[in-house]
Structure formats: C-alpha cells, structure tokens
Amino acid sequence: MYTLSNRLRLFSIILMVVGLVGLIIGFAQRPGSIEEVKEMMAAHDAHGGGHGEAQTADHGESHGKEDAHGGDAHYEHVLHQLQNKPWASLYAAAFFFFMIALGVLAFYAIQFASQAGWSPVLFRVMEAITAYLVPGGLILFVILALSGFHVNHLFVWADPEKVLGDKLLEGKAGWLNGTGFIIRAAIFLGGWLLYRHFAVKYSRKQDEEPTGNKWYKKSFKISAGFLVFFIYTESMMSWDWIMSFDPHWFSTLFGWYVFASLFVSGITTIALITIYLKSKGYLDFVNNSHIHDLAKFMFGISIFWTYLWFSQFMLIWYSNIPEEVTYFITRIEDYKLPFFGMLVLNFIFPLLVLMNSDFKRVNWFVVMAGIVILCGHYIDVFNMIMPATVGESWFIGISEISAVLLFLGLFIFVVFRALTKAPLLAKGNPYLEESKHFHY
C-alpha cells in the first residue's frame, strides 16, 4: 500500500493555494473600462527599452488606422481580449490536466481490450491517474457551462449579438448553442466517468475473487464498448470544447489531432508517476522493460502527433483558401514562438532524445523527455485556445502560471490520494505473471 507523504500533500496544497491566489489576482487585474486599457498601454509603452519601442511603433501604426475609423474601436477590442485572458488561461489549464487523465483512461481501456500482457503491473497507477477525471471533469463542466451561457466571452457563438447577421454562425446555431453544448458535455463526461467507475470497481473485485476471471471478462467487455463510445465522443468533444473557439474554421482531422495530444500526455504522465513511485521504493515489480515500453509509446505517439499536426497544416497551407488558412496565419503572425517552439518540444526533442533504445531505459532521460513533452502539449493547448480568445494581447502572465499551478496541485493531490486507496499491484489480473516477467 502506498501512503501519501506529508511533504507531497503539503506541496500540492501549497501549489493549489498559490495558484488560486494568483488566479484571483489575475481576475482582479482585468481592466474594467477602455480608459484603464489606455492607461495600461501607456504605462507599458513608457517602460521603454527596445521591447517597448517595438510595441509603440506597432501600436502607433494600428492606432492611425483605427482612429481614422473613429475612436476607441481598437481599445475596446483589446479590452475584451484582456477581460478574456484569465478565463482563457483557466480554461486551458483545466482542459490540459483533464485531458491527461482522459488519455490515461483511453490507454487503460486499450490495455484491457487488447489483453495486453506487459502492462498489468501499471494498472493501479493508471487507475489512480484517472481518478482526476471526477473533480477535473466537474470543474471543467462548470467552466463550460459558464462559457456556453455567455457568462464570459470565450465563445463567440455564445453571444447572440455576434451570431445575429453572421451567416456561418447562424447556420451552425443548431449545434453551437448553450443548451446543446451543455447537454453534450454532460453525455461525454457522464459516459467517461461511468466507464471509469465500473472499470476500477471490476479491477478491485477481480483481486478479491480471481477464480474464473469473471470480473476480468466484464472489464474486457466494458473496455471494448467504452473505446467505441470514446472515439466518437472524443472527436465531438474536440469540436465543441476547442474547435468552436474558431467557429468559422473547421478541420476534419481535429478530433484525431486532439486525441494524439491527450494520448501522449497521458502515457508520459504514467511514465513520470511510475518512475517517481519507483524512486520512493514502491513498485519493485516494475522493471526497466516496462519503462522502456512506456518510453517507446512516448516516442511513437509524439511522432504520430507530429504526423497529424503536419497533415492538418500542410493541406491548409498548400490550398491557401482564405477561410481555412486564417487559422494558421493568426498563429504564425501573433504566436510565432509558441507555435514553432511547440514543434521543437513535441517533435524534435523527443525524436532525438528517445530515439536510442538504451536511453529509453535510463530513468532521468525519460523524466527529462517527459517534462518537455508535457510542457509542449500545454503550449499546444495554449495555441489552440488563446488566439481566438485573447488574440494578439497574449503573454504568459500571472493568470496563466497560476492556473497551471492550481490544477497541477489538484492533480497531484487527487492522483496520489487515489493511489493510497488500493494495493499497488492488481494481484488478481490473469496476465500478472506475464507482466511481472516482462522482459525485452
């Protein structure tokens, strides 16, 4: 049995408190009116330096244009963006940590459906990570409900004034409306949590009465059923929760793209937590062949993610159709560093670091690559959410960092508390012996 050390508990609580305080400050610092935006921008420009000059020049130019069209349109635009900023960073962090747990849930179901023999020693780690789906899902649901019913301004389609007169949004209103949005979110989350509940329950029951593998067979059946449900709902979830930030834009492989992102983040987290627990003297039945296999998945799915990213990018870049290519133009013009930096973190770094077979067995190599992959995929989520909500007014400020800390603290707290609830070895699993002797 694992016991949660006081240090780790304290650490996670401190993260949550610091994150929460920072986020409150972030919300409090939002400008309330156009005058405040003007003040902020003037103060920013006055700070001077090379950076400031570039900004001033840039703004001067655009002001000229805006002013010609009459007054404060530009400032009002910036005001809305800055008012969105803490909401968007809250959303990005909430979604990122939720997607890790969701990726692990899908990975866990695949282990059962494929009757994998190597992985049962890791099942309790996976089950613990999926425990985050409950609080993470509820928080996300609340944020989605607030956004869908236009309490904040994250989704353009949630604003009746903006939809009115916009042919595309009017056409999509049958799908993109607050009520439908929240009903769908409830179905997605409900289905995933239901599977999570029964999968964990059957896994525990299988430990108690392993004869006949009655519970194992049930796990197999619900896992296969869940995977069918998951791949449809995950795809729709990606349209609803992410792609609808840019409701005029569409991509047919977006669901796969988000899936690759959440899958690789989930597997990486399994590897990181397994290595952490091993370093604390738990999980002595996990050998370096298991770590090697997880690292192979991290390597492979990172390349799969790049393949999908590039497939989406190249077709749109090549055909250069205005309504499609605007998505990438915004990102390349306003988000150059995170957009291309993410490719380095998510593709080139894992490719070079994890290519060598021997390196995949070296724990600190896997940890280093894993941390980079997780940062990269947070930036991926950031790139998907920010351009449509915050636009060119983005910067990594107090609300972004605080939101990540808040959910990181919650994630650590929930996952490691869930680890204490059951023995770390799923001793009733019929493939356990094979898994213990797994050797590559």
Interacting stretch for another protein, rule CB under 8 A, among 109-117, 310-318, 396-404, 428-436? 310-318
Q: Collapse the DSSP code of 194 into the 3-class scheme (helix H, G, I; strand E, B; otherwise coil) and give the result.
A: helix
Q: Which is nearer to another protein, 208 or 358 (CB)?
A: 358
Q: Residue 424, Cβ neighbours under 10 Å: how many?
A: 21
Q: Which of 231, 355, 371, 396 binds another protein (CB under 8 A)?
A: 355
Q: Which of 317, 325, 361, 383 binds another protein (CB under 8 A)?
A: 317
Distance CA 54, CA 52 (A): 5
Minimum distance from residue 358 beta carbon to another protein (Å): 9
Minimum distance from residue 124 beta carbon to another protein (Å): 29
Distance CA 332, CA 342 (A): 12
Binding mask 364-403 for another protein (x = CB under 8 A): ----------------------------------------
Q: Which of 212, 318, 337, 364 binds another protein (CB under 8 A)?
A: 318
> Contact between 320 and another protein (CB under 8 A)?
yes
Q: Which helix (H) or strand (E) holds 365?
A: helix 363-389
Interacting stretch for another protein, rule CB under 8 A, among 25-33, 144-152, 307-315, 362-370? 307-315
How many CA atoms does the CB half-sphere of 160 hold within 13 Å? 3
> Contact between 310 and another protein (CB under 8 A)?
yes
Minimum distance from residue 313 beta carbon to another protein (Å): 7
Interacting stretch for another protein, rule CB under 8 A, among 20-28, 252-260, 289-297, 312-320? 312-320
Q: How far separated are the first and last CA of the chain, in Å rounded?
A: 28
Minimum distance from residue 317 beta carbon to another protein (Å): 5
DSSP state of 72: T
> Contact between 357 and another protein (CB under 8 A)?
yes
The first and second tokens of residue 391, run together, are 């636009």
Minimum distance from residue 294 beta carbon to another protein (Å): 20
Residues 100 and 266 sit within 8 Å (Cβ to Cβ): yes
Residues 393 and 41 sit within 8 Å (Cβ to Cβ): no
Distance CA 290, CA 302 (A): 18
Phi, psi dihedral angles at 63 (to 5 degrees): -60, -45
Place of tokens 């349209």: 239
> Contact between 437 and another protein (CB under 8 A)?
no
Q: Which of 3, 6, 179, 319 binds another protein (CB under 8 A)?
A: 319
Minimum distance from residue 116 beta carbon to another protein (Å): 18
Q: For the chain, what is the total number of helices (H) and then of strands (E)?
A: 18, 0
> Contact between 24 and another protein (CB under 8 A)?
no
Burial 376-404, CB ≥16 within 10 A → b, else e:
bbbbbbbbbbbbbbbbebbeeeebbbbbb
Distance CA 88, CA 23 (A): 11
Q: Which is nearer to another protein, 232 or 440 (CB)?
A: 440
> Contact between 314 and another protein (CB under 8 A)?
yes
- What angle is formed at CA 342 by the lines to CA 341 and CA 348, rounded to 5 degrees? 85
Q: Which is nearer to another protein, 113 or 316 (CB)?
A: 316
Instruction: Please give the size of the binding site for another protein, defined by CB under 8 A.
Output: 9
> Contact between 313 and another protein (CB under 8 A)?
yes
- Where do contacts with another protein occur on this chain (CB under 8 A)? 310, 313-314, 317-320, 355, 357
